[in-house]
Amino acid sequence: MKTVAYIEDDPDMIDLVSIILRKHGYQVTGFTESREIIERLEELKPELILLDLMMPHVDGLEVYREIKSREGISKVPVIIISAMKRAVEEIEREGEIKVEACLVKPFTIGELLETVKRVMGEGR
């Protein structure tokens, strides 16, 4: 079973995405707390990270940069999730960070699954 970490401030969103991904063979661990996220990711060693860009207590871009600076998790693909399409487009255009994929909320189950499978190199 492939492991996915989901960093998101909304527990209901974590639950929803977890249910969907678990039904398709993924093990999902959700993180809502900003404290010790990086250390917990290093322990978990996920194969994919879903990262909400806009959270009230932590800057998603800072979390992304920290992930990419840590040897043990720097190569883990990250899918950025945001309700602000313009923010995602701006980040990509400016090349501020290099992400494997972005999802804009609200997204469909199909969009979620297709993006996860594509980033993880799986067929449809």
pTM score: 0.91
Backbone angles phi and psi of 60, in degrees to 5: -60, -35
- Give residue 6's pLDDT band: very low, low, confident or very high (50, 70, 90): very high
State the average pLDDT over residues 18-24.
98
User: Which residue from 74, 80, 48, 44 is spatially nearest to 61, judged by alpha carbons?
Assistant: 80
Compute the mean pLDDT over every residue in the chain, rounded to the nearest whole number.
90
Question: pLDDT tens-digit profile of 52-98?
Answer: 988 888 888 889 989 999 999 999 999 999 888 777 677 767 766 77
Check residue 96 and give its pLDDT.
65
The CA–CA distances, whole Å, from 82 to 3, 40, 92, 122 equal 21, 22, 13, 24
**According to the CATH classification, is domain 2-119 in 3.30.1130.10?**
no
Percent of the chain with pLDDT over 70: 94
H-helix or E-strand spanning residue 15: helix 11-23
